[in-house]
Structure 1
Amino acid sequence: MADADPLPVTLEDIRAAAGRIRGAVVRTPTLHSRTLSDVTGATVFVKFENLQFTAAYKERGALNKLLLMDEARRARGVIAASAGNHAQAVAYHGRRLGVPVTIVMPKPTPTIKVMQTEGHGATVVLHGELFDEAYARAKELEAEQGLTFVHPFDDAETIAGQGTVALELLEDAPEIDALVVPIGGGGLIAGMGIAAKALRPDIEVIGAQAELYPSMYCHVTGEERPSSGDTIAEGIAVKKPGALTASIIRRVVDEILLVPERDIETAVSLFLQIEKTVAEGAGAAALAALLTHPERLKGRKVGLVLTGGNIDTRLLATVLLRDLARSGRMARLRIQLQDRPGALFSVVRLFEKHQINIIEVYHQRIFTTLPAKGLFTDFDCEARDAAHLQRLVGDLKASGFDVHPVEVD
């Protein structure tokens, strides 16, 4: 598409979508975060899309698409392929509007997500092991049953709905000079980029993409990188970017930054600790980009979109505990002992001396390469910070103990 060609979605389309969905989606707040600003070196404003009813921005595009359908298509019903937020958005607003909804999900989709989608009144079809197989089945059912397919990102009406996020953000925080937006298939940043550049041509629009799934980054830069692996940001783990969204992103997005898993985990933890709000991995990707690339936006006024808060509680607990371990507030110390009376007590009294709390103790006598009279003991413990812990480690070593902290990647 030549730059002279009109964009397939306009500011007027996005404004019309905003009027269409007003009152049916939450006008989420945009708040200045002083603490995140201190952490990142930028002046940070956060738009909390996790406060939508289904806890993600996807409602905007799904509802706009449904409202633009004629009565005949609504009566026949719609179909989508999704294992996450898009499924719940289509199901929720479909039920509100009396539209029959079918969602095709991969078989490994967590039961809780299946139940939540069914809870919104949708018919769930489990098919295939991967999203691509579920997507192919959804397209077959679309043709067989005369349904309307609601694409999660590669659709002009969906993109227009997602672009309403930028209208609200710029109205609430007109001083910002850069937007950082997570990228999966690209629907959100395409819509927001169109709106932002139309309203403020000087504003920078920057994408944040998981390092394990850099599909849009590779499409735009021409680099070749694999898109695979287990990511906490499964909501943006897209192997093939949208054709429509890619054409828009090339024109309205200034740069795409890749973020590693560690920084995504840290961002999830920071949102909970600092803003007292839950972010899923994909939802925290924009903040992660500021953590990974601090010099890129240092000193700038930055708007971040916290796109969603649907994260499994067990996974959230794991992320928080790993963050405590990395910060030195929680640790596992592996200490080699002699198997004799008083050996354990001599270690424990040093923990007491330094006022470091022992959470759990693991003895290992059997599965070890130590001599039969040797053993190692793992101590899971809590400290105030890394320096507090290091004082204990130094004292243990000075007392003759062989100590090895068990690191978290």
Structure 2
Amino acid sequence: MSTSPGFAGKAFIVAAIGTLSTAWLMHEAPTQSADVSLHASDDIPAHATRDRASTPPAAQAAQAASAVPPAAPAYRVETAQVTHSFSEAASKLGIDAATAAQLARALAGRIDFRRDLHPGSEVRFVFRNDAQADANAQAGTQGNAQTNAQLNTQTGAATAASTTATADEDLPLAVRISTGKTSHDLFLYRNLDGKAFYYGADGQSNAPSFARYPLDYTRVSSSFSPHRLDPVTHRWAAHDGVDLAAPAGTPVHATARGTVTFAGWETGYGRVIKIKNSGDYSTTFAHLSRFAKSLRAGAQVREGQVIGYVGSTGWATGPHLHYEVHVDHVPKNPLTVALPKRSGMSAEEKEHFAEQVAQFEPLL
């Protein structure tokens, strides 16, 4: 009887051999971690990984900071040389005519722009950088809906103040005018309504409520004096004002706000205008060729308003303006008299203003 296995036995033997072969192959194959990484950092050499891991956190932070470009400075300083006039020098730096006039008024009591400035004088301005202003504007627009709703419920007065404050963001924050011998500084300050004013470093307004000069004259033909030989009467008498020579027809301006008390003819004065100004001040304008239209006694005039024109009426040897300033009815020298200044800031406002001066004065 044959002892060879049947077909079923052969199949069993083949399956067993296959199972053993598979087990042996799995045992000989190299093992692999179950945590397989698919990141590109797997290609970094091991020493680079060790170096990065050994870098202190402070050094890593410094490296990260150095990769960030430096922020633009918040302010910039620009300088121009005077060649012909202050307004021309200011326009070179982008200052418009209205702002230049505002600055000139703010320094009217300290400097005569026509005579004190000369070629070589220097004007310096501190501006807010456009990039910084844009960043501030962008930051201001990132408020949430609740903040916007609160802003929309503010009063109309507050909205108007905000509009005023943002309408002239390009105004210079500080100004220095150097004539070679002296320098004069102005600093921008906004009141609670957002209106812009310029003050000296002490918080006082440099702008007087009076202008020093009533016209664009060529020279002082006769000075203020308690005793002068009159060129017409040939007698010694007080000269209660100054004679400012100018071509006939040159406009004459009111030097301060006030009320016309007289406009007519007087012996010696010829055509003359007398104005009662604020406080104890009054002014007189004589030898005029004619008056401005509609000017009469009782009329209100503002500073800078044209009130008449240069002539040689009355006792005059040539075209000029005779100009007087009286304080409490006493004649004073118009070229040196202390002129009343506009009201300054409150004590609290001065405290905030001093902080601004400390910030911007070193930049000038």
TM-score by length of 1: 0.23
TM-score by length of 2: 0.25
Higher alpha-carbon Rg: 2
As a proportion of its length, which structure holds more strand?
2
